[in-house]
Structure 1
Amino acid sequence: MTQFKNIAVALLMGLLLLAATSCTQIKSGPPTRALSEQELVDMLVGSCIQATRGAGSERYIQRIKQVLAEDKEVKLVSVEDLPDDWTVVSPVGVGGGGAWQHVRERTSQQELPRAQDTDLQAIRLLSKHIGKEFKAVLRGEPAGATSTALMVAAEMDLPLVDACPCGRCVPEIQQQIPWVVGIPSTPAGLFTRWGDEIIITKAIDDYRAEDLSRAVAVASGGGVSVAMNPMSGAQVKRGTIAGNLSEAILLGQTIRQAREQGRDPIKALIEVTKGFKLFHGVVIKSDQRGERGFSWADVELQGIREYEGHTYKVFVKNENIVSWLDDEVDVMSPDYIYNLDPQTGQAITGGGPAHPRWRTKVGIEVLGPRHFGFDFDYVPIEELQKKERRYYDDGI
C-alpha cells in the first residue's frame, strides 16, 4: 500500500511538473498566426494603396515569394496580445532625390563594395547599442517599408505586429503617431549602402531625427537603412494605429475578389474605405525634381469621361499631399489621396479620410497643409466632397 502511495505521489508530482512546464511554454510568447502566401500578397497590394502615392507592388510580391520558397514564414501578432515588456523595432528606408552627385561619382571611382542586408545590419547595430534583443518587428509605413518589415521578420524569425506608426506613407520621420503622443523615434541605428554605422543616441526632437537621417541619406547615395522606434509593447499600444496590416490585407483582398468576380475594383475599394472618387483623367504635366533628400512633383491631369473639361492638380512630396480640382483645394493631408489604376484598382484618383489620430491638433500640426508651406487650414475630406457627383456611381 505504501509503495502504491509513493507511485501515486510520484505520478502526481510528474503531472504537476508537466502542467507547470506547459504553462511556462504558453507564457513564453503571445499567440501568433502564420500568414498565408495569399494574405501576404494581398497585404502588399493593399499597402501600396495605403501608401498615398504611385507605388507598385509586383517587385515586393516577388521578394516575399522567394522568402516563402526558402521555407521561412511571417507570423502576425495583434497589438492586444503583444507583451508590455517586449521591445519592438521599425526598419525603414530614409531617402529620395537630391543625393550628392560628387559622392556618387567618388565612391564609384573608388569601387567601394556594397554592404549586404543593410536593414538587418541597422537593427543589429541598434540592438547592440541599447543592450536589448528585439522581440517583434513593427512596419514603419506602407509600401516599401512593408516589404522590408516582412523580409526582416521572416529572416529574424520574429512576429510582425499588426499595427503601424503612420497608417499611411509620410515623407518625414516626425510624421508618425509615436511622436504625436510624445514617444521619440530615437535612439536609432543607421547603416549605409557602403557599411557606415551611425547611432543617433538622442535627438532633441523628431524633427531633428528627420534632419539628421535625411542628411546621412543625401550624403550616402540618396538613401540609408534606419532602425528606429525601439518601443516597448506598452508604448506600441499607445503610439500606433492598431490593425493597420489587417486593413492592408482587406484592401488587397477587396481588389482581388472584385477582379475575380468581374466587378469594378475601384468601386469596391471606395466602398470598403468609405472614400470618394476624386477624378478621372490623363497626366498632361509632371514636373519632378529631387531636392534635399525628397522626391517632389507637381502633377496635372486633364479630365476624361464625366470630368472632361476639368483639370486636377496634385502636389507631391514623396507622397500625395494636396490636390486641387479646377484650381480649388479638393483634398489635403493628412487625408488620403490615392492613385488608382482602372484595370487593377491601384490612374484614377481616389481619396479617403485619415485615421482619427491624425485629425488631432498635434497630428494636423505635423502632417497638415501648413506644415508643407500652404497658407490654409486643414479641412476634412468629407467637408470638401459634399457635392453628390463626388461619390462613386455606376455611371463612372
Structure 2
Amino acid sequence: MRELTTVDLRDLALGATVLGTGGGGDPYIGRLLAERQLRSGRRIRVVSADELDADALVIPTSMMGAPTVIVEKLPSGTENVTALRALEARLGRTAAATMPVECGGVNSMIPLYMGALLDIPVVDADGMGRAFPELQMETFHIYGVSGSPMTVADDKGDAALFETGDNRRMEWLARGVTIRMGGASYVSMYPMTAAEVRRTAIPGTLGLAQAIGRTLREAREAHRDPFAALTEMLGSTIYRHGAVLFRGKVVDVERRTVEGFARGTATLESFTGTDRLQLTFQNEHLVARSDGEVRAIVPDLICTLDSETGMPVTTESLRYGMRITVYTISTPELMRTPSALETFGPAAFGLPDAYIPVEDLVNGDA
C-alpha cells in the first residue's frame, strides 16, 4: 500500500491526461475534489489487487458522458456517492475498495476522491489501460465480468439501476439515461471480487500515470526534451514503445456533441507547410492519417501534447493555431488479443482500417 501526496496526485493527473488520448475528460476538476480531501486530513491509499482478500468486493466508480459537458456542468462530488450507495444496497454488501474503469482523464481521479472520502483503498489497475468512450470497452468485459448490476446518478440526487446480461446493451441503456441527465452522469459498475480484478484488469496503471506525469514535470523543470524523456521512461513498462508521430500547428477543428459523445476531426499542418495529419476522435483520438495512410490507430494511444511544454491537450481544448506534437504509445499485449481487438479495435468504432501495431507503422515494418 502507498499513500498519495498532493505532488503525487498532480503528477498522476498529468499522466492520466496523456493516457486519456485526448479524451477521458480533463482530470483537473477531479483532482481538485481529491486534493480537498487531502487538505481535510483524509488519506488516499493505493493498493494492488494482491493486497486484498480474494473475495473482497471491488466496485469501480467513474463519470460517463461527453468530456465537453463536464467542462460546463461541474460535479459537486456527491453524485458518485449516490451511485455507489445505490449499488451497495442492491448487492447487500459494502465495497471493500474502489478502482478506475479507465486510467485516462477524469476517471482516474474519481476513484481517488471516493477512496479518500469513504476511507477505502483504491486498486492500482483499470480495465482500459487508457480511455475509451463506451462502457463495454473494458478488459473486464473481454475476460468475462458482467458490468451490471450498474447504477447511474446525477447532480439532482436521482439514480437508476440497470440489470442485464449484455454489457453492450448496458452501455446503450445507460447512455440514453446519461443524455437525459444532461449529458454527464456518475456510475458504479462491474462489481467484482479482488480475484476477478487480478484475472481481468491491467495492473499498475495508476502508478504508470503517476510516472508519466513525474517524467514530464521533471523534464520541464530540467529544461529537457519531454518527449525524449517520455520515450525513455516507457521502455521499461508494459507499454514499451513511445514515439513522436507528428509536429505541427492546428489548422482546422470540427467538433460536435452527438448521442452523448464528443465526435470530430482535427487537422494539423507541419511547420514547413508540406505535410498534414488528420486526427479522428470519439471523445478519444481513434486514428491518425496522413495522405490517407494510417499512421496510428486504436487501441494504441494517440496523444496530443503542447510542443513547447509537453503538457497534454484534450480534444475539447484543441484550437486553431495551437502548436501540437502528436505522440503515440503502444498498448500492452492484453489489449491486442483477438477478443480485445473485437471489443475496442478499429472495427468496433466503424473504422474500415485493419489494426497494425504502432511500432510497426512508425518503424516502417507494416
Residue 44 (structure 2) pairs with residue 67 (structure 1): no
* Structure 2 match to 1:250: 211
**Correspondence for 1:213:** 174
User: For the structure 1 residues 59 and 93, does the alpha-carbon distance in structure 2 shift closer, same or farther, using more than 3 Å as the test?
Assistant: closer
1:199 is aligned to 2:168: no
Instruction: Please tell me whether the aligned partners of residues 165 and 176 of structure 1 are also in contact (alpha carbons under 8 angstroms).
Output: yes
1:365 aligns with 2:332: no
Q: Which residue of 1 aligns with 2:22?
A: 53
Which AA in structure 1 matches 2:359?
E
Aligned amino acid, residue 279 of structure 1: F
Q: CA deviation at 1:197?
A: 1.9
2:332 pairs with 1:355:
yes
User: CA offset at residue 124 of structure 1?
Assistant: 0.3
Change (3 A) 1:70 1:116: closer
Normalising to structure 1: TM-score of the pair? 0.82
Kindly tell me: are residues 322 and 119 of structure 1, through their superposed partners in 2, closer, same or farther at Cα, counting changes over 3 Å? Answer: same
Distance 1:260 1:97 in 2: 30
Give yes or no for contact 2:34–2:116 (8 Å, CA) kept in 1.
no
Alpha carbons 1:295, 1:317 under 8 Å: kept: yes
In the alignment, structure 1 residue 132 sits paired with structure 2 residue 93: yes
The equivalent residue for 2:151 is: 189
What is the count of residue pairs matched by the alignment? 340
Tell me if structure 2 keeps the 8 A contact 1:282–1:304.
Answer: yes
Contact persistence 2:78–2:155 (CA under 8 A): no
User: Are the aligned partners of 1:190 and 1:197 in contact in 2 as well (CA < 8 Å)?
Assistant: yes
Verify the 8 A CA contact 1:369 1:377 in the aligned structure 2: yes
- The one-letter code sitting in structure 2 at the alignment partner of 1:196 is D
* Equivalent position to 2:50, from 61, 76, 80: 80
Residue identity (%): 29
Matches within 5 A, 1:83-102: 83-96=53-66
The residue aligned with 2:142 is: 180
| Aligned equivalent of 2:114, options 127, 138, 152 | 152
Amino acid at match of 2:201: T
Equivalent in the alignment of 1:34: 3
Bigger-Rg structure (1/2): 1
Structure 2 residue matching 1:136: 3-state secondary structure = coil
Contact 2:49 2:195 in 1 (8 A): no
* Corresponding residue number in structure 2 for 1:384: 361
Deviation at 1:65, TM superposition (A): 2.5
Gaps of 5+ in 1: 1-31, 100-113, 389-396
- Alignment-derived partner of residue 295 in structure 1: 262
Secondary structure in 1 aligned to 2:33? helix
1:95 Cα deviation after fit: 1.1
CA contact (8 A) 2:153 2:160 kept: yes
How far apart, in 1, do the equivalents of 2:51 and 2:76 lie? 36
SS in 2 for 1:175: coil
- Of Structure 1 and Structure 2, the greater helix share is in 1
Partner SS state of residue 38, structure 2: helix
How far did residue 115 of structure 1 move?
Answer: 8.1
Other structure's SS at 2:217 match: helix
Note the C-alpha offset of 1:97: 8.0
Distance in 1 of aligned mates of 2:364 and 2:336: 22
Q: For 1:101-120, list aligned pairs within 5 A.
A: 117-120=78-81
- How many Å separate the matches in 2 of 1:253 and 1:116? 26
Partner SS for 2:219: helix
Distance 2:121 2:40 in 1: 17
Does the 8 A contact of 1:98 with 1:291 survive in 2?
A: no
Instruction: State the 1:168 CA deviation.
Output: 0.4
Say whether 1:332 aligns with 2:309: no
Give, in angstroms, the shift of residue 58 of structure 1. Answer: 4.0
- Cα distance in 1 for residues equivalent to 2:201 and 2:299: 16
Which one-letter code corresponds to 1:312 in the other structure?
L
Give the drift of 1:35: 1.5
Bigger mean CA offset, 262-271 vs 348-357: 262-271
Change (3 A) 1:167 1:98: closer
Q: Aligned equivalents of 1:96 and 1:89: distance in 2? A: 22
Structure 1 position 93, deviation (Å): 1.3
> 3-state SS of the aligned residue for 2:250?
strand
Task: Report the alpha carbon displacement of residue 236 of structure 1 after superposing the two structures with TM.
Answer: 0.4
Aligned: 1:320 with 2:290? no
User: Can you list the C-alpha shifts for 1:334-373, whole angstroms capped at 9, x where unaligned?
Assistant: 0000111123312210001112111000110111111111
Alignment of 1:233 with 2:183, yes or no, is: no
Task: Tell me if structure 2 keeps the 8 A contact 1:115–1:194.
Answer: no
Contact 2:247–2:307 at 8 Å: present in 1 too? no
Residues of 2 paired with 1:145 and 1:329: CA distance? 29
Distance 1:352 1:257 in 2: 20
Q: Is the Cα–Cα contact under 8 Å of residues 190 and 225 in structure 1 kept in the other structure? A: yes
Distance between the aligned counterparts of 2:152 and 2:26, measured in 1? 26
Aligned Cα root-mean-square deviation (Å): 1.9
Query: Is the Cα–Cα contact under 8 Å of residues 281 and 348 in structure 1 kept in the other structure?
Result: yes
- Counterpart of 1:37, as a letter, is T
